[in-house]
Amino acid sequence: MDIHSATYVISSPDHTKCPAPDRPEYAFIGRSNVGKSSLINMLSRNERLAKISRTPGKTQLINHFNIDNSWYMVDLPGYGFAKVSQAQRKKWEKMIEDYLRRRDNLVHVFVLIDSRHSPQKLDLEFVDRLGEWQIPFSLVFTKADKENQRTVSANVKAFLTKMREKWQFLPQHFVTSAEKKMGRDQILDLIGSMNEETREEEDV
């Protein structure tokens, strides 16, 4: 699958204000600075797409992008901001939980993990939460060009090994680099096949 057009639609303060749930939707989330904007731009082949939603004050919003008039790519506000107050964090948690659990057309979540680091508590806690809520997701290890391949592989393996402590099945994972345009086809192919499945279910 490829992307031919990608346009910014709207930034919403909560799931009730999001666009009508009339097509499959895929959300991207991760710690701030993980490389989420760069990945979204890389996937859409539009270097400015995620920037539009990055104006100050818009960081706590749910950003929708219309992809080829057939599905939505969603940029969710990141977690792990050092300078965020307790109240703001609570607000973020509620907004994210409500969105993830109530958005009817959400098909799959891509959780971004910085491939330069060993497993981080915040990321592990977040995937555990998705498990509790039974939300389908995969892992996207970002910035793979920044370290040598051996380090990246070791970090990926360490994360999956940590997950094994609690999880019986491991999620699918991708190793990506926005810089080197790596991992694009794999992620888009997964989205393409999930779009097909969604369409088939609708036709039944």
Q: Which residues bind ligand GDP (CB under 6 A)?
A: 32-38, 78, 142-143, 145-146, 177-179
Compare residues 114 and 195 and give the one whose CB is closer to ligand GDP.
Answer: 114
The two structure tokens encoding residue 46: 């539009």
Q: How far is CA 137 from CA 4, 98, 164, 169, 199, in A?
A: 24, 16, 16, 12, 19
Residue 135: CB minimum distance to ligand GDP, A:
20
Residue 12: CB minimum distance to ligand GDP, A:
18
Residue 39: CB minimum distance to ligand GDP, A:
7
Compare residues 96 and 195 and give the one whose CB is closer to ligand GDP.
Answer: 96
Compare residues 99 and 141 and give the one whose CB is closer to ligand GDP.
Answer: 141
Give dist(CA 9, CA 18) in Å, integer.
10
Compare residues 24 and 78 and give the one whose CB is closer to ligand GDP.
Answer: 78
Q: How many CA atoms lie within 13 A of 146 on its CB side?
A: 15
Residue 29: CB minimum distance to ligand GDP, A:
9
Residue 201: CB minimum distance to ligand GDP, A:
32
For residue 182, the cross-strand partners are 177
- At residue 126, the 3 state secondary structure works out as helix
DSSP assigned state of 73: E
Give dist(CA 149, CA 32) in Å, integer.
23
The two structure tokens encoding residue 127: 């995937």
Compare residues 15 and 36 and give the one whose CB is closer to ligand GDP.
Answer: 36
